[in-house]
Amino acid sequence: MKKHLVSASDLTKEDAVLVLDTAKELATISDRPVKKLPTLRGRTVVNLFFEDSTRTRISFEAASKRLSADVINFSAKGSSVSKGESLKDTAQTLQSMGADAVVIRHGSSGAPHLLATRNWIDAVVINAGDGTHEHPTQALLDAYTIRKHLRKNEGDLSGIKVAIVGDILHSRVARSNAILLKTLGATPIMVAPPTLLPVGIENWNGEYSYNLDDVLPKVDAVMMLRVQQERMNDAYFPTAREYSRNFGLNAQRLKRMQEHALVLHPGPMNRGMEITAEVADSKNSVVIEQVANGVSVRMAVLYLLLGGSNSEMGENSL
Amino acid sequence: MGANSRNSARVVLESSDISRALTRIAHEILENNKGSKNLVLLGIPSRGVPLANRIAEKISEFEKVNIPVGSLDITMYRDDLRLKPPRALAKTEIPEGGIDHKVVVLVDDVLFSGRTIRAALDALNDIGRPAMVQVAVLIDRGHRELPIRADYVGKNIPTSRNESVQVLLADTDNNEEIVTISAGQQ
């Protein structure tokens, strides 16, 4: 594996399967009386969150703590960032405090890349979502959830078709998923109104469609993306109601899907908008499980990037 | 391993020897614990797991009862994690009924520095509180680095530190024998 996890494309197929297999074993510790492993004792993980997040931050925090790492939470609000401190200065502060890993969420695409490549810090950089770019650990937990249900928690995802529906243009989740699903041998199908598909979608590794009803019967899983409220006024679609009618997942549409098909959502859900409450709470929905799987997958990533000797990993080896 | 051409391999136990050693270990476990009550066997991956299963089979043959067998992966508890690239994890399967108040017999192929058993003891600690922990190994090759000993030993094989001992089992290696490989002069 590479030293950092900035993009889903940093993972080869072998790496990705290793993360999922490791996560599978780590998932069993949540059934134990002592939900803790000593593996990262004495290591410091900094959660550097420039953007609001509940589940990703808590998930990384729980994962780090279960591996006995020390966790320092940093949010831009109430820090020197609000006084205008630059990313470089913040990074160097963390460096001098001895951070071994920096989990970064940033509103600007490319911030984790900058941190990983500029030699400001020695720490491992893990992207927890940057702008409209990528969110690789979300893609890993989605792949884990799909694999667990449809491939008995083993091997890759070859032959599986996954529809990713909604705001593809602004979604870092969609981008990372498209890359990782392809790496694992699955076929991602992007579904959105033309205004919400990025320019050059035909060059992405996968299929795309403007029509949800055509796609649904042939997929094994459907991933609904949140319609970001802040985009509502930007005229990407005429009205929320129209979007919901054409691209929302409701009970009728669910019926047209294959029986084994899964419904995923990275959260937070807008019930009644991209997904109805009935579907969100149906037996096909694995939304709640995704959250639990997120902790296992992030533990696996932290262990694989931080647990061994740094010198043996990544481009900097030897 | 370095100078491959100068390595010499020597078979020290054959399949039938291994089987006899395991039979004796099974008897000793029963004798020591006055029967199979409360026994749990936990194999340490990878070779310890098939060995634990075989000992359990023999015990159930002698005593006509099934005893619980599981596996205990110790990777996350190793003290040399930071010296090597991260390893893939193996399965931990604790048999139903858990290990609380049980006599847990840890089973591994080779006892060397004792660090694996140290890690296993830590791992057990996070899973429950056994009444007693015992250690069974097929080979004790000496060179302990910690105050740890085995309760049941298949065979003591005096080795030098540059030698390596390889256990091959039908279940994992399609071949069954124990080989020592001496690495030669460095």
Q: Is the pLDDT of residue B90 over 70?
A: yes
Q: What is the pLDDT of residue A316?
A: 37
Q: What angle do CA A269, A171, A291 make, to 5 degrees?
A: 45
SS3 state of residue B138 = strand
Tens digits of residue pLDDT in A86-142: 899 989 988 898 999 999 999 999 999 999 999 999 999 999 999 999 999 999 999
A283 is annotated as an active-site residue: no
pLDDT band at residue B1 using 50, 70 and 90 as cut-offs = very low
Q: Tell which of A14, A30, A39 to mutate to test the B interface (max B CBs under 10 Å).
A: A39
Domains (range + CATH), chain B:
4-79+88-182 (3.40.50.2020)
Q: Is the pLDDT of residue A255 over 60?
A: yes
**Mean pLDDT for chain A overall:** 91
Q: Mind telling me how many Å the CA of B155 is from chain A's nearest CA?
A: 33
Residues of B in contact with A63 (CB under 8 A): none
SS3 state of residue B8 = strand
Residues of B in contact with A22 (CB under 8 A): 88-89
What ipTM was predicted for this assembly? 0.84
In B, minimum Cα distance to A67 occurs at B76
Task: Pick A21's closest partner by Cβ from B88, B122, B126.
Answer: B88
In B, minimum Cα distance to A307 occurs at B86
Average pLDDT of span B94-114? 96
A105 is annotated as an active-site residue: yes
Could you please state the CATH topology (level 3) that the domain comprising A136-289 is classified under. Rossmann fold (3.40.50)
The domain A8-134+292-312: what is its CATH number? Answer: 3.40.50.1370
State both tokens at A39: 């593996």
A32 is annotated as an active-site residue: no
Q: What is the pLDDT of residue A76?
A: 78
Q: What is the pLDDT of residue B184?
A: 59
Record: contact A38-B76, CB cut-off 8 A:
yes
Sign of CA dihedral A289, A295, A299, A301: positive
With beta carbons less than 8 A apart as the criterion, state whether B76 and B126 touch.
no
What DSSP string runs through A239-288?
A: -HHHHHHHH-B-HHHHHTS-TT-EEE--S---BTTTB-HHHHTSTTB-HH
Record: contact B92-A28, CB cut-off 8 A:
yes
Q: Which of A160, A100, A167, A163 is nearest to A132 (CA)?
A: A167
Tens digits of residue pLDDT in B11-25: 999 999 999 999 999
**How much is the CA Rg of chain A, to the nearest whole Å?**
19
Tens digits of residue pLDDT in A174-215: 999 999 999 999 999 999 999 999 999 988 878 999 999 999
> Of chain B residues 85-104, which have a CB less than 8 A from chain A?
85-92
According to CATH, where is 3.40.50.1370 located in chain A? 8-134+292-312, 136-289
Task: Pick B86's closest partner by Cβ from A21, A37, A308.
Answer: A308
